[in-house]
């Protein structure tokens, strides 16, 4: 069964099932293989498969690449900087969700900070 999530930015259902090859991903993103490999190396995207010839990517990887490209373009970051920024943004989003939960449930004990 395919994994799905709703992509609010695109306004449609996005599949997480890996179906794109490295060449497909390069074409769809209009990036070189070297650029995609830098995203893999920095952990921005994690393909399925043992080596680049077997790698498969899902459409959710396209979203992560767009986020990284926007950071590179708008802030002048390299792939390593984009990876760090994405990681921090995800961490902030998770912390905001936890904070929201505790604000809605003030009697809940915070035991695992």
pLDDT at position 106 = 85
* Residues linked to residue 4 through DSSP beta bridges, in sequence order: 15
Place of tokens 């809605």: 104
Residues 9-64: tens digit of each pLDDT: 444 445 567 789 999 999 999 999 999 999 999 999 999 998 888 999 998 999 99
Task: Convert 46-101 into a string of H (helix), E (strand) and C (coil).
Answer: CCECCCCCCCEECHHHHHHHHHHHHHHHHHCCCHHHHHHHHHHHHHHHHHHHHHHH
Report residue 35 as tokens: 């650029």
Report pTM: 0.74
DSSP conformational letter for 20: B
Residues 78-92: tens digit of each pLDDT: 999 999 999 999 999
Q: Any residues with CB less than 8 A from the CB of 17 and at least 6 apart, and which?
A: 2, 3, 58
Show the domains of the chain with their CATH numbers.
4-83 (1.10.1660.10)
Q: How far is residue 113 from each of residues 24, 70, 101, 103, 110, measured CA to CA in Å?
A: 42, 32, 14, 15, 7
């Amino acid at each position: 069964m395919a994994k799905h999530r709703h992509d609010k930015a695109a306004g449609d259902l996005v599949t997480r099932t890996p179906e794109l090859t490295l060449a497909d991903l390069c074409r769809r993103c209009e990036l070189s293989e070297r650029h995609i490999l830098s995203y893999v190396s920095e952990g921005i995207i994690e393909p399925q498969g043992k080596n680049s010839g077997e790698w498969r990517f899902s459409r959710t990887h396209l979203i992560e690449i767009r986020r990284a490209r926007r950071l590179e373009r708008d802030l002048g970051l390299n792939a390593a900087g984009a990876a760090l920024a994405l990681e921090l943004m995800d961490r902030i989003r998770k912390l905001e969700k936890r904070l929201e939960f505790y604000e809605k449930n003030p009697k809940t004990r915070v035991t695992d900070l």
